[in-house]
Homo-oligomer: A and B are copies of this chain.
């Protein structure tokens, strides 16, 4: 429940809350793509796609690497896993609830 880890969670879930960004993330997880190549896939301006890429980058979901005049974006699977582990923690909270209910039911009385 760190303050910065909540900031990080905010950024990660926010980045994932837009379908265009999720689609971009799928593409860059499957392989490197330049920003221009990504932009060609969507019915919006280059600048809009570039901003989506920047949101994903700030959240740590992708990294960029320069190659000549291109900027090649690549998805970071570790960041995806870190989101999954946040959800696992939520499931653990729920399991605790079930365990307490079980304890009540099996209690002698």
Give me 21 A-to-B residue pairs in the complex whose CB atoms sit less than 8 angstroms apart, sorted by A's number.
A9-B22, A10-B17, A10-B19, A13-B13, A13-B17, A14-B17, A22-B90, A26-B90, A26-B93, A29-B93, A30-B94, A30-B97, A31-B97, A77-B90, A80-B87, A80-B94, A81-B91, A83-B87, A84-B88, A84-B91, A87-B87
Chain B residue contacts of A80, Cβ below 8 A: 87, 90-91, 94
Interface of chain A, helix or strand or loop or mixed?
Answer: helix
Nearest B residue to A90, CB-CB = B80
Q: Beta-carbon contacts of A27-38 to B below 8 Å, as 1s and 0s?
A: 001110000000
- Chain A positions within 8 Å of B, measured between CB atoms, are 6, 9-10, 13-14, 16-19, 22, 25-26, 29-31, 75, 77, 80-81, 83-84, 87-88, 90-91, 93-94, 96-97, 100
